[in-house]
Amino acid sequence: MAGNERTLPPEALDEWTVAACERLGLDADQVPVALILDLARDVAHGVARPAAPLTAFLAGLAAGRAGGAPQDVERAVAEVVALARSWGGEP
């Protein structure tokens, strides 16, 4: 990467995901990358950019406490995406 460029090409994001999962003892094949990126986008645009990583963490925490199954992740993400889409407007 040249200079201060912080945008990752897709293959670098995949490499980062695998490395982070290995470090945390997670199965990278069970990480719904697109779902989490969509969550971050919706929160960043609907609430505020700094809320995106915080919300991704909160959704992961909620999913883990609910059991950590794929449907638990999907449910937690759906809840916060719905909240973000209604934020500042009528629910």
Is 91's pLDDT higher than 60? Answer: no
User: 69 lies in a domain?
Assistant: yes
Q: What percent of the chain stands above pLDDT 70?
A: 90
- Domain range for 66 is 31-91
Domain count, the chain: 1
User: 19 lies in a domain?
Assistant: no
User: 58 lies in a domain?
Assistant: yes
- pTM for the whole structure: 0.82
User: 75 lies in a domain?
Assistant: yes
pLDDT of residue 89: 59
pLDDT in tens, 31-53: 999 999 999 999 999 999 999 99
User: 73 lies in a domain?
Assistant: yes
Mean local confidence (pLDDT), 73-84: 96
pLDDT in tens, 14-26: 999 999 999 999 9
Helices 33-46/70-86 angle, 10° precision: 20
User: 88 lies in a domain?
Assistant: yes
State the Cα–Cα distance between residues 16 and 9, nearest whole angstrom.
Answer: 11
